[in-house]
Amino acid sequence: MSEVLYQAINSVLTLFLIGLVGYSLARIGLITNNIKSFFPIMVVRVTLPSFLLSSTVKNYARADLSLLANWIGLGLVTVTLTYGLAFLISHFIIRPQGRRRGIFCAAFSFSNTMYIGIPINLALFGDQALGPAMAYFLANGIFFWTIGNYLMSLDGQFGKVPIVSLETVKRLLPPPMIGFAIGIFLVLIGFQPPKFFLDAATLLGSMNTPLAIMYIGLGFYGLSLSSLKPIKEVIAVLGGRFLICPAITVTFCLLAQTQTLTTQVFTTQSALPVLAASSIMAGYYQSDTNYANVLVSLSTILSLLTIPLIRVLVIYL
């Protein structure tokens, strides 16, 4: 228990320290609004595609893809159920104000499965948790970067597009998904890229989390408390993150009779803070970035309390 609590606190405080760097740079005037727009572009078009490509090629062989596909399929079902519920809530119950519906659904449904999720699961369950933890991360990412990304794009300044159009295809296949698809293709054909290529992709990918979290810190400079209104939206997102999403996940895993370890890992992954990329994409599409920043940051703070609680609860699964 103490090891998990230490890991949780360490992960969260690390994120806050990086975010504080971004906030400080904005406060002293070294990063202006013109420079700020560079961060989401760099993450979406360069660092995250590089990370997904390199991690896929380095961590998986062709023989692993069958089991990985089963885990990803299971993760996709649970994420789809959660996102479907968030979509219904946003249309019939909460009805987010302004350009927020896509952000609301994304924050409700998608968790920070990489930087916080994988270290926490390894601390909880050991190295055997890496496979299902990575699978949930990929399922979470696949859905976010396709359907979630498309609906968030409708919040932005670029407007709606016809369902069947080249622009829709572009929004459903953003650069991160292309990077992942290339990685899977290389694994399938058994091609190992040159070491210098993988090293370059790995180095670029290592910039992903710092840039994303610094961008959230930048957003906090000059943040208005009006971003917390209406408070029912914030409460709904936090309830989705820490209660509804893990409840749906554990219920489906138990019904599907998955292995205990898989159920425990998936439940833990589903009950983590809001995915930081939600804030990045809000900035990328020029929608309500303040709202996204508040949801990411509040959920990350609350995770200091919820992660140890999850540790106790998953023992009984």
**What pLDDT is attached to residue 193?**
94
pLDDT greater than 90 at residue 89? yes
Cβ neighbors of 114 (< 8 A, separation 6 or more) are: 137, 209
Region 93-106: mean pLDDT is: 87
Residue 73: C-alpha distances to residues 80, 82, 270, 299 (Å)? 10, 14, 15, 26
Condensed to tens digits (0 to 9), the pLDDT of residues 9-41 reads: 777 788 788 888 988 998 898 888 778 878 888
Higher local confidence (pLDDT), 238 or 32 = 238
Res. 172 pLDDT band, cuts 50 70 90: low
- Amino acid type, 64: D
Cβ atoms of 54 and 201 within 8 Å: the answer is yes
Q: Would you list the DSSP string of 168-225?
A: HHHHHS-HHHHHHHHHHHHHHHT----HHHHHHHHHHHTTHHHHHHHHHHHHHTT--G
pLDDT greater than 90 at residue 230? no
Domain positions in the chain: 2-316
Condensed to tens digits (0 to 9), the pLDDT of residues 189-214 reads: 999 999 999 999 999 988 887 888 88
Residue 69: C-alpha distances to residues 105, 176, 274 (Å)? 25, 19, 24
The CATH fold assigned to 2-316 is Na+/H+ antiporter like fold (1.20.1530)
Condensed to tens digits (0 to 9), the pLDDT of residues 242-266 reads: 999 999 999 999 998 898 999 999 9
Cβ atoms of 287 and 99 within 8 Å: the answer is yes
Q: What is the mean pLDDT of the chain?
A: 84
Condensed to tens digits (0 to 9), the pLDDT of residues 110-156 reads: 998 876 787 778 777 876 887 898 889 889 988 998 889 888 888 87
In the chain, the percentage of residues whose pLDDT exceeds 90 is: 32
Alpha helices in the chain (DSSP H): 2-27, 33-36, 38-42, 48-59, 65-92, 101-109, 118-125, 130-143, 149-153, 166-172, 175-189, 195-205, 208-220, 231-239, 245-255, 260-270, 277-284, 289-313
Q: How far, rounded to the nearest angstrom, does the alpha carbon of residue 164 sit from its chain's CA centroid? A: 27
pLDDT greater than 70 at residue 228? no
